[in-house]
Chain A
């Protein structure tokens, strides 16, 4: 038990009240968005506003889904996020392993470089990327956007994976090598299975980074490969301020990742703290 845990009933009661209040305050915005999405379009802009809908309706959901480009944008978001997660993992796994296991001078340079790249404002590399993708002939494709998103998630993945590889005892590989495995074989058959949990965590973070990204999507996509965050943002200019449909789409876009969090919460906490606490 941690020395900071309090056992006095009175202070525990006060802390509980404080925590519940905080959670209510914290959760309220999201709940309000959820409730609004079930109001009639007219009630969403009623004065004065009410918290709960007077009549519950899925009208906003129907009109959001029915809009041009909404369904394709969802597909684009999924395809882009999956592709960019794959790119990040394929590149990050061997690199992070090399950094932690072999500790060469180049490895140190590499990991510091990856950290520095995390500080670059996306607007700075997003603009030249437009020209690069044009000359590669992949403008306005999910693949191009996935590459752009991987520039964000790759440094993060390298950083996370090195902290997971660090936890693997070296003896494990030595044993495999004595049994005749090559260095690559030891990595593939011994180290990767042991770090499966860590790989899952890294994949979640890479996926989230792409799913929620906005600036690259804004600069690099036109109509074909547009992701949902862009569509959500466009609601306000193209169709006036349709808050009902906007909140419905925002809810629909958040539900998959919230479910993901629900299923994988232990892993997510592990990932959040891996980089920082061990780092």
Chain B
């Protein structure tokens, strides 16, 4: 007996489907349903249906809206700086051609390092009194004394400081992806523009960027999703402090759940976070990436 191709394909996808259903979809359903209950922090404790009360509490608490804004700011800072740096490096690699090979290899290494290690390392580098960064800046006469910038303990700048390890770790990803994209741009297009007397900025913004758009879109969307979910890198550096100035959504949900022991409220916050993530990324994908659209390939 021979089964049809369609059935055969379905059977091949069945194990993965079952796995994702049990270990991703089912937890998701549970998490969302928890958001409508008031749940005791003790396992097996009482569970009362409270409708949208957790959502009301989330939206009326300053913590929630502040964390949402911080997540947005953090994501934009990380993705923007990574893009600018990553594109610059990719263009330098391309300009140097094959000679840049060794450097491309070196740029791979940060991608191997655990975010927890990167966060820890930068916390060590940025410590106010005995951190090497402030020491070197002082020796270079940029700072008057090492305590002048309190990277991780000044609430005004901490959100930007905690982004540094994230940028340090993953700019390489953007560089290498954009570099690969640049290799696919036909040389004669750029040659022709150059013969027409186009300047480098014109070539960059009028020719390279539009041609690279699908690659740029993929890289930025993937990085944006990761940055918006950042957890360990921030936890290890500041644990959300000082004065909650680095508490993004992941950290807030974690703190509400673990330290305050409010699974219902944490689930409501997490559900809004989840919906926002899905809405933003799906919109971004449909607008700029357009997977499967032949024109962008």
Contacts and interface: CB of A to CB of B under 8 A. Distances in A.
B1 interface: no
**How would you classify the secondary structure of chain B's contact residues: helix, strand, loop or mixed?**
helix
Interface stretch (A55-63, A65-73, A115-123, A194-202): A115-123
Contacts of B215: 276-277
Given A95-B13, A106-B10, A150-B19, A5 B95 contact: yes
B112 A102 contact: no
Contacts of A11: 95
A9 interface: no
A250 interface: yes
B117 A23 contact: no
A261 interface: yes
Interface size class of A (residues with CB under 8 A): 35 or more
B148 interface: no
B44 to A, nearest CB: 10
Interface string A129-146: 101100000000000000
Interface string A93-119: 011011101101011001001111111
Contacts of B96: 5-6, 12, 15-16, 19
A3 B190 contact: yes
A94 B15 contact: yes
Interface size class of B (residues with CB under 8 A): 35 or more
Nearest to A106: B10
B291 A279 contact: yes
13 contacts: A2-B183, A5-B94, A5-B97, A29-B125, A90-B15, A94-B12, A95-B13, A124-B253, A151-B20, A229-B232, A257-B112, A265-B108, A277-B215
Interface of A: 1-6, 11-12, 15-16, 18-19, 22-23, 26-27, 29-30, 32-33, 36, 45-49, 51, 87, 90-92, 94-95, 97-99, 101-102, 104, 106-107, 110, 113-129, 131-132, 147-148, 150-151, 154-155, 158, 183, 208, 211-212, 214-215, 229, 232-233, 243, 246-247, 250, 253-254, 257-258, 260-261, 265, 268-269, 272-273, 275-277, 279
